[in-house]
Structure 1
Amino acid sequence: MALIDHLDHLVLTCVDAEATKHFYTEVLQMELETFGAGRMAFRFGNQKINLHVRGSEFEPKAHLPVPGALDLCFIATVPLNDVIAHLKKVGWPIIEGPVERTGATQKIRSVYLRDPDLNLIEISEPMK
């Protein structure tokens, strides 16, 4: 039996909280959650991304928290063609794709974009 079951949350360090909030809530359509002493998080499914602003991180934190160091892959709730149409509608550029990749459990079809801190964001659909 494995020790770890699933990811609960991860922490993203950003430069501009408002630009990051716009990207994750408007472009990726995640739900904004506020908690604690004015902290922000972006909820999707049973997971969330907690937000730290560079220079004002909460303790404890990563040893070297830096904006733009993440490479994240999300599985979409809608067909990838709908994701592509939404990204075009909101004017967010796709930097690569659609392309076929190997996901955690099966082959996936993906597009790549960057968030405001230049983290690499992959949005995918499972291939049949």
Structure 2
Amino acid sequence: MPTVGIDHIAMPTANAERLIAFYKRLGFPINHEEEWRAGKRATFSIQVGESKINVHPEGYTASLRGPTAVPGCTDICFVFEGTVDECRKMLEEAGVNIISGPVPREGGRGRGTVPSLSFYARDPDDNLLEWMIYQATTAKP
């Protein structure tokens, strides 16, 4: 059987409360937040479609992890379903500082052949975040 997708990635954080608030403002569901707050779980996750980001809060060390897993080490590209202007509005309304974009990028669809534009920002831990809008060929700067 071939590899068909990504189930999850792991992301350490220096401030779990700040990270939860940031991703909630963007509309991402937080899995196991109540259990984590109650001390019944060591971690929580951010749901992204059928995949998730496992968040490793301050003080948690996974038994298996990358050797340089520290807050700010993650670079994630989200796919936004909508227009470039709708994506910009969503980011601005969530209080996200757009650091670049929209800029043309090659994503994974069609092995990099499907046109797309991306916005870039950073989360509270300084992770690089990208929102890619496929089939976007024009946008207001």
Q: What is the TM-score when the length of structure 2 is the normalising length?
A: 0.80
Q: 2:102 maps to which residue?
A: 98
Amino acid at match of 2:128: L
Q: CA deviation at 1:79?
A: 2.1
Q: 1:120 pairs with 124, 128, 131, which one?
A: 128
Q: CA deviation at 1:55?
A: 3.2
Q: 1:58 maps to which residue?
A: 62
Q: What is the TM-score when the length of structure 1 is the normalising length?
A: 0.88
Q: 2:49 maps to which residue?
A: 45
Question: Would you identify which runs of 4 or more consecutive aligned residues in structure 1 move more than 6 Å?
Answer: none
Q: 1:71 pairs with 70, 75, 82, which one?
A: 75
Alignment partners' CA distance in 2, 1:25 and 1:67: 19
Q: Which runs of 5+ in 2 are unaligned?
A: 137-141
Q: 2:139 maps to which residue?
A: none
| Structural RMSD (CA) | 1.8
Identity %: 29
Amino acid at match of 2:11: L
Q: Which has the higher strand share?
A: 1
Verify the 8 A CA contact 2:16 2:58 in the aligned structure 1. no
Size of the alignment, in residue pairs? Answer: 126
Q: 1:24 maps to which residue?
A: 23
